Structure 1
Amino acid sequence: MSWAGTDEWIDDDVQVDGRGDIATLTDEMNVDAAVVRRLNTAKGDLFYDPNYGNRIHDKLSDPITERWLTEAAEDIRECLSWESRIKVQSVDVTADPENRLVRFHIRYEYANGKAGGVMWEVRTD
């Protein structure tokens, strides 16, 4: 049994394994996919779970300033605080204001004690 659960592997499309079955994600890969799904979802978009999602989506049309970057990192931490299978260690932010792109390097510890993380980027309006 997986410590982090098992889920279908759906990226831009359903993934298929070598036997033609729907591929699954387990353990760290499952957690990483859940983290990205949570980051990609605007807070409040899931009617049955108002705490699910990321507030950063409400700020994408705002000018990228130092304050915006600080608040965005805080939004990421708050968003991921609801994911019980990880503990966020750091959120590093890199902005490319000319291209309206912001990258977040998020490092965390899985519930099993291993180190992990994702790189997530968002394009602002």
Structure 2
Amino acid sequence: MSPENLALLQELAGPIVAITVIGTVGWVATTWLRIKHGYPLEGSWGQAIHPKTDDQAMQRIALLTSENAELQAQLGSIKDRLATVERIVTDSGYQLTAQIEALRDRDGASSVN
């Protein structure tokens, strides 16, 4: 090996090591985030490898699924009730009743004075 090539290799050794370390740390961080959030990993041939879930995670998933179903049912009920209230308020009979009650209140207040 010539002295020029040896000097060039020594100059590039630091950046090569730094790039290798940064790439490895990035890969480890990406893998950790995928495992933490339940995303499948990739095998050497590109196939999806799903991380194993423990019993606690399965119970949490079941609890969240049932809670989600309950909340969706409540939301549907609230939407139905809101539609009913909107229909009552926009009904002309309701407005007429409100006007009659306002007249009664006005007449009742003037007869008291």
Range into which the TM-score falls when normalised by the shorter chain = under 0.3
**Bigger Rg, which one:** 2
> Higher RCO, 1 or 2 (CA under 8 Å, sep at least 6)?
1
Q: Which has the higher strand share?
A: 1
Q: Which has the higher helix share?
A: 2
TM-score, normalising length: structure 2:
0.20
